Amino acid sequence: MRYVGVEEELLLVHTDTFEPCAMAAAVLAMADRAGAEDDIFQKELQRQQLEFATRPQSDMSALEAEIRRRRRESAEHAGKLGASVVALATSPLPVGPAISADERYRWMQQEFGLTALEQLTCGCHVHVSVESDEEGVAVVDRIRPWLAPLLAMSANSPFWQGLDTGYRSYRSRVWGRWPSAGPTEAFGSAERYHDHVADMIATGVVRDPGMVYFDARLSHNHPTVEVRVADVCLDASTTVLLAVLVRALVETAAREWREGVPPRPVGTGLLRLASWRAGRSGLDEALMHPDTMTPVPAQDALEELLAHVRGALEDVGDLQLAQEGMSRLLRTGNGARRQRELLQRTGDLKAVIADCVRRTQE
């Protein structure tokens, strides 16, 4: 059974005003004093965000328990400083940049200008273990058409600088400004993958492997495939659903590779369109069908994803969990729908954030 790890980026906001607050360093220091495990909590590009990483887990109930525990711990550390954590992929309220005091991040600010300054976005990254780089690249090549539905499921960023963007995941649009971000062509082998990354670094535009922001990549720190398309999810249960589906996608792709099934011949241009559509539509409008790349109802695209990975889900006992999670998500909606419903009901973005703080920490 493959192991899964999750990284979640959380937004730090003032407890009273719900405006983003640049307190990541202080929260990390508080976590250290409280005896937090090494490498669990990390700083990010912006000082208004905090990241945590779970340990590798094979059991999804254990993964969910750890995600909820890390969210509570993050909230406790921030609360001692008059701050709250909230699982929102962008800030609904206006916010100014506050780049972390780190040489690498200062270089990014100088090199990328406004693109770096505006990158207050919170994502969710899912790592799944692979046996080798060769298997990992085979997986990356074969899961490409299935990543846009994952973005639609996670969409949790309809607001930006106090405005409704018209998107369900505006984070994905902001994140796409990085020159190395987005979908890729199929590589065909680990050697070609590593040569491509080396060529990117040689240009000087990308500083190191950590700045290779492919939608799915080989992790440069762990023996995993890392899927990076998702917004941070408002509800922990949605994060777990993503993890379940990503593990099943990785296993399904690895089986196809071993059986000699080639990657689907979908060009990067169509994958970019599918990603744009997922960020625009979320679960409320049409998505692009992963096989035909034509518009279909969102539910049809998600059902096709579930059918594609059904065998892998059954083999590890996750099929019912995935079916129930998908049904619940389609019925209740993702974070973007929740945020818009709250704004319609209250007329107040601060009330939206307050409710999301509660849901993050409950």
The domain in which residue 123 lies consists of 101-348
Cβ proximity of 50 and 122 under 8 Å = no
Give me the residues paired with residue 169 across strands.
157
Residue 216 domain flag: yes
CA distances from 31 to 34, 177, 220, 268 (A): 5, 32, 26, 42
Q: Quick one: pLDDT at residue 163?
A: 97
pTM of the predicted model as reported, rounded to 2 decimal places: 0.96
CATH code for position 294: 3.30.590.20
Residue 184 domain flag: yes
Q: Which residue has 């082998």 as its token pair? A: 189
Tens digits of pLDDT across the chain (362 residues)? 899 999 999 999 999 999 999 999 999 999 988 877 777 899 999 999 999 999 999 999 999 999 999 999 999 999 999 999 999 999 999 998 899 988 999 999 999 999 999 999 999 999 999 999 999 999 999 999 999 999 999 999 999 999 999 999 999 999 999 999 999 999 999 999 999 999 999 999 999 999 999 999 999 889 999 999 999 999 999 999 999 999 999 999 999 999 999 999 999 999 999 999 999 999 999 999 999 999 999 999 999 999 999 999 999 999 999 999 999 999 999 999 999 999 999 999 999 999 999 999 88
Residue 96 domain flag: no
Residue 1 domain flag: no
Number of helices (H) and strands (E), helices first, in the chain? 15, 11
Residue 301 domain flag: yes
Residue 48 domain flag: no
List phi, psi (to 5°) of 318: -105, 0
Task: Report the number of distinct structural domains present in the chain.
Answer: 1
Residue 249 domain flag: yes
Residue 11 domain flag: no
Q: Per-residue DSSP letters for 313-345?
A: HHHHT-HHHHHHHHHHHHHH--HHHHHHHHHHH
Q: Which residue has 């539905």 as its token pair? A: 149
